[in-house]
Amino acid sequence: CGIFGVIGVADAANFVALGLHALQHRGQEAGGIISHDPGTGFNSAHRFGYVRDNFTKQSTMETLPGPLAIGHVRYSTAGTKAAPAIRDVQPFFGEFAMGGCAIAHNGNITNADALRRELIERGSIFQSSSDSECIIHLMARSIQRNIPERMKDALRRIEGAFSVIAMTRTKLIGVRDPLGVRPLVMGRLSDGAYVLASETCALDIVGAELVREIEPGEMVVISKGEVESSRPFGPSTGRFCIFEHVYFSRPDSIIGGRSVYETRRQIGVELAREAPVEADLVCPVPDSGTPAAIGYAHESGIPFGMGIIRNQYVGRTFIEPTEQIRNMGVRLKLNVNRALVKGKRVVLVDDSVVRGTTSRKIKDMILDAGAKEVHFRIASPPTAWPCFYGVDTPERSKLLAANMSTEEMRDWIGVDSLSFVSLDGLYRAAGEAQGRNNSRPQYCDACFSGDYPVAPFDQLQRGFHM
């Protein structure tokens, strides 16, 4: 999901709409905005669909007045995706003795089922099926006298990944979980006006300058132009999601002082060193494979070409919630540039293989178009484990790499060769010159390594084996 908040500007909701638009790649199912205005109090709008179709209408935006607003774009992960319901769309809102509070959460709470059961037994009335709603109910039960302190109480009971943006009548609040699995940055618009956002590309769109990232385990409370920082969870070292670098974030974002584009390009360089091949053309599977393909072509000296053309009017395939739509998605979205690939030995570069359906279809399309050989190069290690921290990787039985060796995958996809970047190669591309520190890994890479930095409590209860 994508989250955005702003304080200290006229018509804050318009800024939020722009910010969410820049974060649309993080969630396309639905979006919501809550604003606060001293005259009318809290106001909200929650809609299915794209930001541009919902939060550009004047009739909607004029219902969201005030200098303080937060928003959320939703991408439903396992467990919450059965039937999309508007009551699952964030931000969520709670009214407490000391006033209202709205929250927007990115990530996934790994003990949400257990907490929900406990809260319901003790009288909480849930409105949604979302794991994030637990935060509001835990806050309601806290005995602290102000909202930031109640939020700390609540978040200390929560396990898993959370970047949270919240607001009261007068404060904008940002928090990251102790491992900082999901991103969150702070920007400044002008004196006293601050922005919190999932990624820096959302600061750029509103013209905010990057102040810094919120640190893993940090809470910031912004009001009256002051930023107050605290560490509610004690000392911790971050384990940021390495897959944000590979795929999830936008390439024009800066993470940990590093360009996401540059990291992706560098993954292609590592791939070319680790898995060279004689070929005539390097083609990205657009858009997710493009920077890595540029790096592969550069390092190998093989010409780069757009052998597959993407229809710009279709969103990210994997974000479509059902299998059937995902299957159609490949053809709706991608087409082969016959004139370019005919008769050639083609290196195809994509970011990841999950179920393998994309790779298999693209291989068919490219062979139909007359390519002589197809060599797949993947800009991440084999995805062999599900993510429980907010990215929608399916269960192990559906993950190709959980059930096949690389050679079996090569055969199943039907290509001449198949190689994945190594975990160390990926770490090097992400700026860790020595690769992965196996005794203290610098990133979360559980979907590749099975090394889960937070034990997924609910999943283990359901019989998942790590």
Residue 288 marked ligand-binding: yes
Decide: is 233 part of the binding site for ligand SF4 (CB under 6 A). no
Closest to ligand SF4 by CB, 296 vs 427, is 427
Closest to Mg ion by CB, 102 vs 374, is 374
Both structure tokens of 117: 């059961």
Burial of 379 (0-12, 13-18, 19+ CB in 10 A): buried
Closest to ligand 5GP by CB, 277 vs 285, is 285
Binding at 354: pick from ligand 5GP, Mg ion, ligand SF4, none (beta carbon under 5-8 Å per type):
ligand 5GP
Q: Is 1 annotated as catalytic? A: yes
Residues 6+ apart with CB under 8 A from 191: 225
Decide: is 447 part of the binding site for ligand SF4 (CB under 6 A). yes
Amino acid letter, 403: N
Decide: is 288 part of the binding site for Mg ion (CB under 5 A). yes
Residue 458 marked ligand-binding: no
Q: Which of 1, 101, 134, 201 is catalytic?
A: 1
Euclidean distance between CA atoms 181 and 367, whole angstroms: 39
Q: Comparing C-alpha atoms, which of 458, 440, 464, 462 is closest to residue 385?
A: 464
The DSSP annotation for 198-237 comes to SSTHHHHHHTPEEEEEPPTT-EEEEETTEEEEE-TT-S--
Residue 201 marked ligand-binding: no
DSSP 8-state code for residue 86 = G
Binding at 242: pick from ligand 5GP, Mg ion, ligand SF4, none (beta carbon under 5-8 Å per type):
ligand SF4
Of the candidates 50, 55, 92, 389, which one interacts with ligand SF4 according to CB under 6 A? 389
Strands (E), 306-387: 308-310, 334-336, 345-350, 373-378
Draw the binding track, 244-283, toward ligand SF4 (x: CB under 6 A; -: no contact).
Answer: ----------------------------------------
Place of tokens 């702070």: 186
Place of tokens 């959460």: 105
Euclidean distance between CA atoms 417 and 407, whole angstroms: 9
CA triplet 424, 430, 434: central angle to 5 degrees? 45
Q: Binders of ligand 5GP among 365-404, rule CB under 6 A? A: 391-393
Residue 439 marked ligand-binding: no
Q: How far is the CB of 383 from Mg ion (least distance, A)?
A: 12
Q: How far is the CB of 75 from ligand SF4 (least distance, A)?
A: 12
Q: How far is the CB of 416 from ligand 5GP (least distance, A)?
A: 18
Decide: is 131 part of the binding site for ligand SF4 (CB under 6 A). no
Amino acid letter, 252: D
Give me the active site residues, please.
1
Q: Binding site for Mg(2+): which residues? A: 288, 350-351
Which residues would be at the binding site for Mg ion (CB under 5 A)?
Answer: 288
Which residues would be at the binding site for ligand SF4 (CB under 6 A)?
Answer: 181, 241-243, 387, 389, 391, 444-447
